[in-house]
Chains A and B, each alone.
Chain A
Amino acid sequence: GNSVTQMEGPVTLSEEAFLTINCTYTATGYPSLFWYVQYPGEGLQLLLKATKADDKGSNKGFEATYRKETTSFHLEKGSVQVSDSAVYFCALSSNNAGNMLTFGGGTRLMVKP
Chain B
Amino acid sequence: NAGVTQTPKFRILKIGQSMTLQCAQDMNHNYMYWYRQDPGMGLKLIYYSVGAGITDKGEVPNGYNVSRSTTEDFPLRLELAAPSQTSVYFCASSPLGQTNYGYTFGSGTRLTVV
How far does the alpha carbon of A89 sit from the alpha carbon of B92 in the complex, in Å?
15
Residue A32 interfacial (CB < 8 Å): yes
How far does the alpha carbon of A98 sit from the alpha carbon of B104 in the complex, in Å?
16
How far does the alpha carbon of A62 sit from the alpha carbon of B48 in the complex, in Å?
31
* Pairwise interchain contact A42-B99, C-beta atoms closer than 8 A: no
Residue B102 interfacial (CB < 8 Å): yes
Known A43-B105, A43-B108; contact A99-B98, beta-carbon cutoff 8 A? yes
Measured CB to CB, the closest approach of chain A to B95, in angstroms, equals: 8
Known A44-B105, A51-B100, A99-B31; contact A89-B90, beta-carbon cutoff 8 A? no
Which residues from chain B contact A32 at a C-beta distance below 8 Å?
99-100, 102
* Pairwise interchain contact B102-A46, C-beta atoms closer than 8 A: yes
Which residues from chain B contact A98 at a C-beta distance below 8 Å?
31, 50, 99
* Pairwise interchain contact B42-A89, C-beta atoms closer than 8 A: yes
Which residues from chain B contact A89 at a C-beta distance below 8 Å?
42-43
Which of the residues A44, A46, A94, A99 comes within 8 Å of B90, measured between beta carbons?
A44
Closest 10 CB pairs of A and B: A43-B105, A105-B42, A32-B100, A51-B100, A93-B99, A44-B105, A43-B107, A99-B94, A99-B31, A106-B42
Q: Which residues of A contact B (CB under 8 A)?
A: 31-32, 34, 36, 42-46, 49, 51, 89, 91, 93-95, 98-101, 103-106, 108
